[in-house]
Amino acid sequence: MNESWVHSTDDFERLLEQSSHEKFVLRLYVTGMTPRSTDAISHTKAICEEHLKGRYELEVIDIYQQPDLAQGEQIVATPTLIKKLPAPLRRLVGNLSNKHRVLVGLGIREASEAQS
């Protein structure tokens, strides 16, 4: 057996284990307390609690209250969920009620995994 391959596999598995404990830094941009905004907030919080419990930071930003933050992030539609960390940066725009779509968008699940 090739010793470097075993070492590489061990390294890969260690990195995979570390990534499952990374902290997620998320920003959710909404417009006021409309039904669409409150739905996006509740769906996002529920997904985070179920899949990232204890390892996420979620900041909800109302673009009516803080338009400068929305402009700085180039927000053109709401709701918009941005994953700042871990890299890579990802943006999800629109309806956040499809849990599988959000999990794939955040890089928590692979697109090929069955929806549950």
For the segment 29-46, what is each residue's pLDDT rounded down to a tens digit?
999 999 999 999 999 999
Query: Cα 53–59–61 angle (5° rounding)?
Result: 150
92 and 77 Cβ atoms separated by less than 8 Å: no
User: What pLDDT sits at residue 4?
Assistant: 41
The CATH classification of domain 24-105, taken from the options 3.40.640.10, 3.20.20.140, 3.40.30.10, 3.40.50.300? 3.40.30.10
The contacts of residue 57 (CB under 8 Å, 6+ apart) are 23, 24, 25, 26
Query: Model pTM?
Result: 0.79
Q: Mark the ranges of the chain whose per-residue pLDDT is less than 70.
A: 1-20, 114-116
Domain ranges of the chain: 24-105
